[in-house]
Amino acid sequence: MRKKTLLVLLAVLAPPGASLAQAPAPGDVPEAAQDLSILAADSGSACPASGTETALPPDVAPPGVPVVTDLPNDAGDHLIVSFEPSPDEAAGSILAYKVYRRTPGAADGSGEWAVVETVAAGDPTEIVDGYDPDFPVAQGVRYEYRIAAVTSDCREITGEAALAAVVARGEWFHTDKLRVLIACLLFVGLIFLYFSKARGGAALYLRPIAGIEAIDEAIGRATEMGKPILYVPGLSSIEDVATIASLTILGRVAKKVAEYQTPLRVPNRDPIVYT
């Protein structure tokens, strides 16, 4: 009687069309579905779920052979890899492309194929290898590349592998910085030119500074009135940049005051500034 009551209660609580069969545990996910989920996360697209009836796409043409060139104006740790996309990309059967790299004949793990970049379908098929710190590019090492197209049913159609025709080399000078070099040389040349003119006795025009002219005017007025000059170098210590600049100006003021024989009073808060 209790079993019948329990079955009737489950039948009432269950939604229409639901089965009383035992559902799989949350962790019991088929490995194929897990692989599809991981691939979908890498490619940025959704793969069909496990158990869903989907029509497999026809045979997909592989992508083109990768072409490797050295990245100019770098330290020799980057390579440019470009390839032609699959002709079937326009049909929507390609989700992404995986760029594989290995070092032929290497005894360590770099001799195995490793994915260094994933390019979504429709994106530019030219990547710069070497930005990933997990897969650095070494100078003078010749790598081998291949491209795999990831289809809508999460298959990989691997293209022909190609050994890089070039190796990564560093440059001594960044050609894009040529304008900066010209500007620096011009600036240094002007400095030496004015130095030579000043040594030759040429009269060079120096734009007057309004603050210095105001100080000279104040010294002249104090001298005319017969009043002493009060100069405050500041309340900070000698470590302050403003105090150091104030003491530099004080030297010029003292010379000017000595010419006019006017009393100069300089109150100080810090004894080091006083000395």
Is residue 210 pLDDT above 80, yes or no? yes
Report the percent of the chain where pLDDT is more than 90. 39
| Confidence tier at 268 by pLDDT (50, 70, 90) | confident
User: Is the overall model pTM greater than 0.85, yes or no?
Assistant: no
> What pLDDT sits at residue 47?
53
Computed over every residue of the chain, the mean pLDDT equals 80
- Digit-coded pLDDT (tens) for 63-73: 999 999 999 99
> What pLDDT sits at residue 36?
37
Report the percent of the chain where pLDDT is more than 70. 77
The residue written with tokens 């088929």 in the block is 30
Average pLDDT on 186-197 reads: 95
- What Cα–Cα distance (Å) separates residue 20 from each residue in 6, 15, 23, 32? 12, 10, 9, 26
Is residue 154 pLDDT above 80, yes or no? yes
Is residue 7 pLDDT above 70, yes or no? no
Please give the Cα distance from 189 to 187 (Å, whole number): 5
Supply the CATH classification number for the domain 67-163. 2.60.40.10
Tokens of 170: 């560093």
> What pLDDT sits at residue 41?
52
Average pLDDT on 21-44 reads: 41
- Digit-coded pLDDT (tens) for 83-104: 999 998 888 889 999 999 999 8
- Digit-coded pLDDT (tens) for 178-191: 999 999 999 999 99
- Digit-coded pLDDT (tens) for 113-153: 999 999 999 999 999 999 998 999 999 999 999 999 999 88
Is residue 26 pLDDT above 90, yes or no? no
